[in-house]
Chains A and B, each alone.
Chain A
Amino acid sequence: MGLRGKISVWITVLLVLAGILFVIPAASKSTFLDQLESWFEDYSEAVDSAQDDDDDDDESSGDVATTPAGKMVVRIEDEIGAYAGIETVNLVQTSFFPESKALAIVVDLRPMLALRARHHQALAALNVANVAERAAAAELARLKTLAKGSGSVATKNVIYAEASWHEAKAKLQGLNFDLQATHDEALQIWGEVISSWILTEDSTQWHRLLSRQDSLLLVTLPLDLSLDKEVSDIRIARDGSRQQARKAIFVSAALATDRVIQGETYYFKTATGQLRTGMRLDAWLPEGSEPLNGVFIPDEAMVWNDGQAWVYVKLEDDLYQRRSLLSGLVAAGGVFMTDELSAGDTLVMRGSQMLLSEEFRWQIEGDD
């Protein structure tokens, strides 16, 4: 290659370099170094992005945020909420009588009848003894008068009559004791109110029981429950159905506990209807006399976390907040809340677990 050839090659190379150094930066209004640096940065970014893994997940439209009050909320766009099958209901105000469940049994009247019979026998014997004592006393008085007045009666007879009178008096006293014992027994077994029914001759209540217009129920509470003093009536049912339950009226506290359940026991009476002696029934006892106002939360809406039950409430269009049910009262099929939640709140009925999962997403084990 000649000298001319070499020079032309070098001139070409120089022109290309000049183009790179001056023309391109001038066109882009930046220095060559800037240009070089930006190229380098672009390159590094391209390398970084090429090396990033294409993760499928963790980029969900939902996320966890905090409200100005510092409470955690889950943000899920409305469209996504519907898409994910979240269903809500508006809570409505309801009244609620907090109740406890207990067991009841229809009391067998035969022991009462026996007691009443013994009482009657004792009473009759007492009356006989009373008459006998009065007769013995009259006989003694007569003999004493005769002996003092005419001396026609032997002292011996007076002494006999006196002994007879003492005997009749002692017998009377003994029968009085028997009667008292029957009273005491009735009191010990049935308490004052029912004893009075048993022992009172013309007790209307006793007649209603006896004629099976009413039945007496022994209600046994669970171990850790007591009956509120204000409670005057409860509900009972044969088949465990609260809806079918009917009223039973408080009679008195029972004195003995149930051998099987060992909780507090009370007597209630109810119209007999289809009840039969010995039948075991379910009973619902109100825990207060006044109904509570609040909202009812069904079991389906609840999720358990951190030792307590929670529900999710929709705050605004796309925010969901977890609320504690710790202060709630247990009711059939759910919880009754007087605070924390109120009428008008939008309760998540379906999708609570999904929201919990979104809130605690970090607990989901990674797929790798």
Chain B
Amino acid sequence: MLSHIVAFSVRFRGVVVALAILLLAYGIYKLSNSSLDIFPEFAPKQVIIQTEAQGLTAEQVEVLVTQPLENGLGGLVGTESIRSQSIPGLSVVILTFYDSTDIYLDRQLVSERLLGLNNALPESIGPPLMVPLESSSGTIMTIGLSSDSHDLMALRALVDWTLSPRLLSVEGVADINVFGGDEKQLQIQLNTDKLARYGIAIDEVTEAAKSATGIMASGHIENSNQRMMLSVTGQPMSAEELAKVVLRNTENGTILLGDVANVIAAPAAAIGGAAIGGKPGVLLMVIGQYKANTLAVTHGIEAALAEFKDGFAADDITLHDDLFRPANYIESSLSNIREHLLVGGALVMLVLILFLFNLRTALISITAIPLSLFTALIVLLEMGVNINIMVLGGLAIALGEVIDDAIIDTENIFRRLRENAVLAEPKSTMEVVFNASMEVRSSVVYASFIVMLVFIPLLTLSGVAGRMFQPLGEAYILAIFASLAVALTVTPALCHILLTRWGDLSDKEPPLVRLLNPIYGWVLELVSQFPKITFGGVIIFCCGGLAILPLLGGSFLPELREGHYIIHTASVPGTSIAESLRIGGQLEKRVSEIDGVRSTSQWAGRAERGADTFGTHYSEYEIDLVPMDGAGQQAVLDEIREVLEAFPGINSEVNTFLTERIDETISGYTSPVVVNVYGKNLAELDRKAQEIAAVMRDIDGAADVQLRAPAGEPQLEVRLKLDELAYWGLKPADVMRTVQTGFEGTVVGQVREGNRVFDVVVVLPADQREQPDDVANLPIQTSAGVMLRLQDVATIKQVSGRYMILHAGAQRLQTVTCNVTGRDLTSFFAELKQRVHDEVEFSADIYPEFTGAAVAQAQSREDLLVHSTLAGVAVLLLLYIALQSLRNMSLVLINLPFSLVGGVIAVLFTNGVLSIGSMVGFVTLFGITLRNSIMLVSHFQYLVQEEGAPWNAETAIRGAKERLPSILITALVTALAMLPIAMNSDSPGREVMGPMASIIIGGLISSTVLNLLVLPSIMLRYGKFEKR
């Protein structure tokens, strides 16, 4: 079949070239219209349901909100897991669906179930809302507003009613998370002293306010001619008007709302706060839609913001539109990759010209690069894959390789045409081109398939790693496949067109090859004289290289140089927004003093529908840097870490934004040992977890034993005294409602200011919602009109509550985690299981589960091992088919440790850390190495089988010398194509590919040197070639 394709291409070369040009043109068109993003959608298919339950404790949220939702949502088709978090004021239920499901269908299923669940929740809670479907990398931009002349309430109103709606209308925006600012309410702030003096109950005020506000439909009148809508106006709409509403008529006169309450516009109870450069302000996080184009959305947002700029400036409002702009990273990455492609392409061209010494052959070979890469891009775009850094990375590492097939082909055709030219009776050009192509076909085809096969396990990786690296693997495999197709079609066609016209071909070998060949022959001869020393040296070299492996650290991704850092800090639960902002102010002050930091901003707590669901004790900071290289960014990072480490009372972490998002996506604890205890009773769960922690601490090798979600949040428990309630004729709900109105506020209606609508809320003034004594002194009125204080009918005590209650599979869960040092994990796990089983008693409804990152990793390692084994077997089969000798096949495999050593040394010389990218580098390297070995060994085979040469040192050296140019060219081309990325791997866009490139270059050097010098000796000593 291959021969037909090659024959067709040579015969209809014009058509083939025309098709190739068409493909290039279409590729350029598609690329210019494609969307660009940072990473592929790496998040699992999740539907997150958030239910606001203001004023409820974690326990109340769990029982009243989370549990009914979990029960209602359980059992949906395609659900992989259901987890939940209940924190004060918020329930978060996370449904994870299998990757094979359609996320839109999943959301449809969830929303249908949610419709029926609204009624299952208590009044004034919710409704449960699905967090908008957003892209994995989430944030498109972070914008801030601050002003010296406007208060936070005015800024927030501007954001909520003017800026946010405009930004939400930009295509690709999923949501705007607003942090900080004061949400405006018209508050009827109760004066408890006056209520007690007049003997007025809080409920009475609530009722009076309710009857005064609220927007109601009024209907219409209709007669035989006309219909007229009724519109009731004149309701109290301002604080002054509301203060005049009659509360009670007495014989002494009329008591108005304003007599017992202060009616003013005041901020609602906040769930978060924000500061820009340490100064209070409002932060907006623009969230991108699923599969949105970050660059396009960013430009859309910037265009929308430009509309506001003049108005803001005139109004003395500062717009901070540069707090965080992920597009910066994409732009600098793209520019870096573009530079890499240009420099790499130029280097490739240089090598080709140096080695082939013929511009035409160099041109023919180099056409394989754009053709293969554009073919891969077109296929990916048609498959609906967004172009992102991983796709570009796959293409970048394929850059050096896609040209290999073409080089081998061109080099051989060129050589055969030269040989043909000096023949007495030259064959027809078509025949020479066809035969020369077919001669190297087997090594090209098998080698390409092997290179593709070794990448297959990458496509089967599970979890985030899989979702991140699959596009890279796909792009790489597609490019290699395309390069094979190009080598089979376009290259022979172009060779025929370009090499047979326009002047005679020189019959001499290119000068560089002429220079290298004798030197190589001499070295090879020398090496083959000392086979034992050579083998010994090689073994020591390989062992030395392998011994370095355990010295290398590991990380999921290398440090990304996004020019931006995100800091998290957490204090003990219960820390107020004010204190979090105060700490943040101090931190921001220190961080902004670091050279290279351009802007800082902070948010504490959370935003409605925000991706992060944390309490007021939690803060996140955006630290944006001036443009600088990787080393500069690292220096800033080190200084930020120093600042954070010195700071008391906080746990902190600093990451780049994308690392952050990926960490957040890898759900669950990342400790190697995790024991989950499932049960119903929280106290019992805590007790069992503590017993397990005690057992754990007692086991050799356990370190950092931690009980997760400990009870530590300060709560003020109001325990009703039922006897007292009965004596005074009070119902528990009366008291609870009064407490709610006092401290949470009761919404009694809405008022309008133009098109803005604000809640009217009855609540205590802010300064009476500060101390536990304020709760104790809350006035409660009995049905007989007697005024009591809350402490008269309830015991008020400060207790430690839970900040968070976790569920997995709709069951309560408490977790103990630890690290293991100084012993192997398997024996630790075995001992832990045995001792927990022996020493901790479990009842029927409480049971442990032993898991952890180690277990999960073991599972994915096992998967990877199975897939790699399968791919390995397939590679061996292909190798066998290519070489047709079991012995030669085994000898070719010796090249793998050769390449591994070079790769490992390269890692050691770069940053000493193995990331998944490095693994990909090794996989690529193995493929390339095997290809080179096949080329050499199959040529030996060709010499013995086709040309009838005897298998001896002379043939081995001749074969090696003849293959030297193509092996050197392909190796050099691949290495040089990688060089620009490897040289400056610590810069935007190159962080993931940089380590891969270093490994490929290192491995290529070692494997090429050993392939050229050692493999012939080994083949000579142990190989077997027989004439058929």
Contacts and interface: CB of A to CB of B under 8 A. Distances in A.
B582 A85 contact: yes
A309 B647 CA distance: 25
A80 B587 CA distance: 12
A-B complex: 10 closest residue pairs judged by Cβ atoms: A62-B648, A357-B649, A280-B197, A363-B712, A354-B649, A358-B649, A357-B571, A260-B199, A368-B670, A357-B572
B551 A260 contact: no
Contact of B570 (A84, A223, A364): A364
B802 to A, nearest CB: 11
Interface in B804-837: 804, 817, 821
26 contacts: A46-B551, A50-B551, A57-B650, A57-B651, A61-B648, A80-B646, A83-B646, A85-B585, A85-B586, A103-B197, A260-B785, A261-B786, A280-B197, A305-B800, A306-B798, A307-B798, A309-B772, A353-B571, A353-B572, A362-B706, A363-B572, A363-B710, A364-B651, A365-B708, A367-B568, A367-B653
Contact of B649 (A62, A262, A367): A62
Contacts of A299: 770-771
Given A58-B651, A354-B649, A357-B650, A83 B586 contact: yes
B252 interface: yes
A33 interface: no
Nearest to A261: B787
Interface in A305-335: 305-309, 330
Interface string B193-237: 100111100000000000000000000000000000000000000
Contact of A262 (B576, B646, B652, B786): B786
A159 to B, nearest CB: 57
A46 B646 CA distance: 27
B553 interface: yes
Given A1-B530, A46-B551, A56-B641, 13 more contacts: A60-B648, A61-B645, A61-B648, A84-B647, A84-B648, A103-B193, A103-B197, A260-B785, A304-B714, A304-B772, A308-B798, A350-B582, A366-B669
Nearest to B713: A363
A95 to B, nearest CB: 22
Nearest to A81: B648
A255 to B, nearest CB: 19
Interface string B70-107: 00000000000000000000000000000000000000
Contacts of A350: 582
A354 B646 contact: no
A307 B803 CA distance: 16
A15 interface: no
A361 B710 CA distance: 12
A57 B648 contact: no
Interface in B697-731: 706, 708-710, 712, 714
Contacts of A278: 252
B690 interface: no
A63 to B, nearest CB: 9
Contact of B646 (A58, A60, A223, A330): A60
A57 B797 contact: no
Interface of B: 193, 196-199, 252, 529-530, 533, 547, 550-554, 568, 570-573, 575-576, 579, 582-583, 585-586, 590, 617, 641, 644-654, 669-671, 706, 708-710, 712, 714, 770-773, 785-789, 792, 797-800, 803-804, 817, 821, 912
B653 A57 contact: yes
Contacts of B788: 223
Contact of B571 (A105, A282, A354): A354
A311 to B, nearest CB: 14
A366 B706 contact: yes
Contacts of B644: 56-57
Contacts of A222: 789
A192 B798 CA distance: 46
A306 B800 contact: yes
A56 B653 contact: yes
A309 B798 CA distance: 9
A30 B573 CA distance: 56
A317 to B, nearest CB: 15
Given A1-B529, A50-B553, A364-B571, A261 B649 contact: no
A3 interface: no
A154 B661 CA distance: 127
B583 A354 contact: yes
Contacts of B533: 9
Contact of A282 (B193, B583, B645, B817): B193
A223 B792 contact: yes
B315 to A, nearest CB: 32
A216 B654 CA distance: 68
Nearest to A62: B648
Interface in A259-287: 259-262, 278, 280, 282
Contacts of A361: 572, 649, 651
Contacts of B817: 366
A260 to B, nearest CB: 4
A356 B647 contact: no
A282 B192 CA distance: 12
A83 B547 CA distance: 46
A191 B576 CA distance: 53
A305 B792 contact: no
A188 B128 CA distance: 63
A230 interface: no
A360 B772 contact: no
A362 B196 CA distance: 45
A57 B554 CA distance: 19
A82 B1010 CA distance: 62
A73 interface: no
A51 interface: yes
Nearest to A46: B551
A216 to B, nearest CB: 17
Interface string A336-359: 000000000000001001111110
Contacts of A174: none
A284 B652 CA distance: 48
Contacts of B193: 103, 240, 282
A81 B648 CA distance: 8
Contact of A57 (B196, B550, B645, B785): B645
Contacts of B798: 304-308
B651 A367 contact: yes
A83 B772 contact: no
Contact of A330 (B572, B576, B773, B799): B773
A350 B578 CA distance: 11
A47 interface: yes
A202 interface: no
Contact of B573 (A58, A60, A363): A363
A9 B535 CA distance: 14
Nearest to A320: B648
B581 to A, nearest CB: 11
B181 to A, nearest CB: 23
B649 A305 contact: no
Given A56-B654, A222-B789, A365 B551 contact: no
Contacts of A172: none
A364 B198 CA distance: 47
